[in-house]
């Protein structure tokens, strides 16, 4: 992406005013809901940090086992506290025709995922508590690289955990090979994920490292609502992530935060006996969530930069700004993305450039030609 790139002002022609108003109302709800849910989450975790140690008497599992139990209970409380918001999201999405999911289905669909989270937190905590038991003041030095390694591992195996099918579109397969060559990388396998059960919104994403690299299209993107050229723009964009090494860079960014983050957790939990003591586990959960929230704007800034870079690469690959503009407009029409969200919301929550910025980038690319 050129350093001197300045985005022109663009008019959002082609998007009916009614849709813009609808998108604005649709997204406003999620902003408010996010803020309220985070307040509830922090309150629950603050209470848990103060009183959670009481649950230690429910354990006969020794130091590390008790820590695992406390962490899982914390996660369970978080899950319970977020249930109303999850249901509210379904209600709102149904209201705006963004999903057909039922409420009961929403409650029970994520249990497998929740189980995986329970397992992961147990594994992570067992490692941290074992290290903290051995090195009470310096455990974070060893834990941070461990978690970075884990993030790499997860990034590598994630494509194998998500059920997808091979993309049965010869034209897109051919375009994928051609674009990959243009971007200087080997062809990346193209897959399709069936998301019909939980959303009607279109999407695609790039995942994996090395042999596990994939580009996954949601089937909602391939149902005929988007033209072939628009889908090819998406394909070039996702390939742009791979050719720019965004997935590796993402983990490296995480690594940059992991060390000070682990140090902060170690420092703050010291007054509860440190991470070697189960009593510190509830507090550590609160610290992790607070750090996560505080780092959200920074994470989103990095993410927006990468997305913009991938957009530019897509334009450089396809040389077709018009389908790109049409695609982004269609995102507003179909997914009700607010094309120009409030500044605070954009900074705090948005991991992608706004629709207006993305259209402006396509326009800027065209003018440079």
Partner 1 sequence: MDRHPVRLLLEDDLRRSRLTVFFRLLLAIPHLIWLALWSIAAFFAAIAGWFAALFTGQLPTSLHRFLGSWVRYATHLGAYLSLAANPYPGFTGEPGYPVDVVIPEREPQPRWKTAFRLVLAIPALMLAAVLGSGFAGGGGGYSQSGTDDTSGVPWLASSGVGGVAAVCAILGWFASLALGRMPVGLRNLAAYGLAYTAQAYSYLLLLTDRYPNSDPAAVGPAWGLPPHPIRLELADDGRRSRLTVFFRLLLAIPHFVWLALWGIAAFFAAIANGFVALFTGRSAAALHRFLAAYIRYYAHVSAFVSLVANPFPGFVGEPGYPVDISIDQPERQNRWITFFRIILAIPAFLLTGALSAALLMAAVLGWFAALATGRMPTGLRNLGAFSVRYHSQTNAYLFIVTDAYPHASPPLQPPPEPEPVYADPFQPLPEAV
What tokens does 299 get?
Answer: 């994470």
Strands ordered across the beta sheet of 190-193: 165-166, 190-193, 214-218, 204-207
H or E element, residue 193: strand 190-193
Distance of closest approach, residue 195 Cβ to partner 1, in angstroms? 25
Which CB atom, from 278 or from 323, has the smaller least distance to partner 1?
278
Which CB atom, from 80 or from 174, has the smaller least distance to partner 1?
80
Which CB atom, from 58 or from 197, has the smaller least distance to partner 1?
58
Which CB atom, from 71 or from 308, has the smaller least distance to partner 1?
71
Distance of closest approach, residue 120 Cβ to partner 1, in angstroms? 10
Distance of closest approach, residue 84 Cβ to partner 1, in angstroms? 16
Distance of closest approach, residue 76 Cβ to partner 1, in angstroms? 4
Residues paired with 215 in a beta bridge: 190, 206
Which CB atom, from 115 or from 342, has the smaller least distance to partner 1?
115
**DSSP string spanning 217-273?**
EEGGGSSSSS-HHHHHHHHHHHHHHHHTTHHHHHHHHHHHHHHHHHHHHHHHHGGGT
Distance of closest approach, residue 58 Cβ to partner 1, in angstroms? 5
Distance of closest approach, residue 86 Cβ to partner 1, in angstroms? 17
Q: Longest C-alpha distance within the chain, in Å?
A: 70
3 state DSSP class of 98: coil
| 3-class DSSP string for 153-170 | HHHHHHHHHCCCEECCCH
Taking a C-beta distance cutoff of 8 angstroms, is the pair 262, 151 a contact?
Answer: no
Binding site for partner 1 (CB under 8 A): 55, 57-62, 64-66, 68-69, 72-73, 76-77, 111, 114-115, 118-119, 122-123
Distance of closest approach, residue 218 Cβ to partner 1, in angstroms? 28
Distance of closest approach, residue 115 Cβ to partner 1, in angstroms? 5
* Nearest CA among 183, 241, 199 for reference residue 216: 241
> How many angstroms from the chain centroid is the CA of residue 204?
12
Which CB atom, from 66 or from 99, has the smaller least distance to partner 1?
66
Distances (CA, A) of 142 to 8, 156, 282: 48, 22, 21
Which CB atom, from 61 or from 256, has the smaller least distance to partner 1?
61
Which CB atom, from 52 or from 176, has the smaller least distance to partner 1?
52
Distances (CA, A) of 53 to 68, 126, 176, 270, 283: 12, 17, 54, 15, 10
């Amino acid at each position: 992406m050129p350093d001197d790139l300045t985005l022109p002002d663009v008019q959002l022609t082609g998007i009916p005013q009614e849709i813009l108003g609808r998108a604005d109302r649709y997204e406003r709800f999620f902003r408010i809901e996010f803020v309220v849910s985070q307040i509830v989450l922090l309150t629950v975790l603050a209470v848990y940090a103060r009183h959670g140690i009481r649950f230690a008497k429910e354990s006969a599992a020794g130091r590390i086992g008790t820590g695992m139990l406390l962490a899982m209970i914390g996660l369970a409380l978080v899950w319970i506290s977020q249930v109303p918001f999850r249901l509210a999201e379904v209600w709102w999405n149904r209201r705006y025709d963004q999903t057909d999911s039922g409420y009961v289905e929403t409650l029970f669909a994520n249990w497998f995922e929740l189980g995986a989270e329970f397992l992961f937190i147990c594994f992570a905590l067992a490692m941290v508590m074992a290290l903290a038991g051995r090195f009470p003041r310096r455990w974070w030095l060893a834990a941070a690289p461990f978690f970075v390694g884990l993030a790499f591992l997860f990034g590598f195996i994630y494509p194998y955990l998500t059920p997808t099918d091979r993309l049965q579109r010869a034209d897109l397969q051919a375009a994928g090979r051609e674009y990959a060559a243009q971007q200087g990388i080997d062809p990346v396998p193209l897959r399709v994920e069936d998301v019909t059960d939980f959303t009607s919104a279109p999407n695609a994403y790039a995942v994996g490292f090395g042999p596990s690299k994939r580009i996954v299209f949601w089937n909602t993107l391939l149902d005929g609502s988007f033209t072939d050229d628009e889908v090819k723009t998406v394909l070039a964009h996702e390939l742009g992530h791979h050719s720019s090494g965004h997935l590796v860079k993402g983990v490296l960014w995480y690594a940059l935060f992991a060390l000070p983050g682990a140090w902060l957790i170690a420092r703050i939990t010291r007054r509860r006996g440190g991470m070697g003591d189960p009593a510190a586990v509830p507090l550590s959960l609160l610290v992790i969530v607070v750090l996560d929230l505080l780092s959200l704007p920074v994470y989103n800034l990095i993410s927006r930069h990468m997305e913009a870079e991938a957009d530019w690469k897509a334009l450089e690959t396809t040389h077709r700004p018009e389908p790109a503009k049409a695609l982004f407009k269609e995102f507003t029409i179909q997914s009700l993305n607010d094309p120009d969200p409030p500044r605070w919301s954009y900074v705090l929550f948005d991991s992608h450039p706004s629709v207006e910025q993305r259209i402006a980038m396509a326009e800027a690319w065209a003018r440079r030609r």
